[in-house]
Amino acid sequence: MAIPTCYNFERLSRISLLMLGVGSCLLILGCGHSDRVQVSGTVTYTDGSIPQGEMAMVRFEPAADSNALIRKGAYGYIQPDGSFLMQTMKPNDGVYPGKYKICFMVKKSYLNGESLVAPKYRSKKTTPFEETIEKNTTGLHFEIERNK
């Protein structure tokens, strides 16, 4: 019995490979959030006051010896009560597990480039703060010095 000519196995193979490729991409994009964890805490100056300004944020920069899972750093805005919640790309999406250097950016206004934080806290090369994040983490507290 002959195979009907309407079956084109070469075309079916190409379509199957294309569907497999598209499905894999969707799976990778769709699952990106699940490997991040929630991280929150507070920030104060050494005198107990809250760092405030139009630009006030905490940055988690991947440490040089961090694991390969960290694809990028994360950030969190310092709220009027000193609290922050970290995000990687969109609000509340969390942080990739791994080792981070913790930096701070606090400016009175977006237009005024003057930093309100001591220089050592601005760069991952000089910050004294380092955290290894493995699971959901709450209650972190960082005490920083003002810029003199």
* 67 closest CA partner among 28, 102, 100: 100
In the chain, what are the domain boundaries? Answer: 35-144
The predicted model scores a pTM of 0.74
- What are the tens digits of pLDDT across the range 70-79? 668 999 999 9
Residue 15's contacts (CB-CB under 8 Å, 6 or more residues apart) are none
Q: Among 3.40.980.10, 2.60.40.1120, 3.20.20.60, 3.40.190.10, name the CATH number for the domain at 35-144.
A: 2.60.40.1120
- What are the tens digits of pLDDT across the range 23-64? 444 334 444 446 899 999 999 999 999 999 999 999 999 998
Q: Determine whether 50 is exposed, middle or buried from the number of CB atoms within 10 Å of its CB (0-12, 13-18, 19+).
A: middle
Helix (H) or strand (E) segment spanning residue 15: helix 9-30
CA distance 105 to 123: 9
Q: 41, 138 in Cβ contact below 8 A?
A: yes
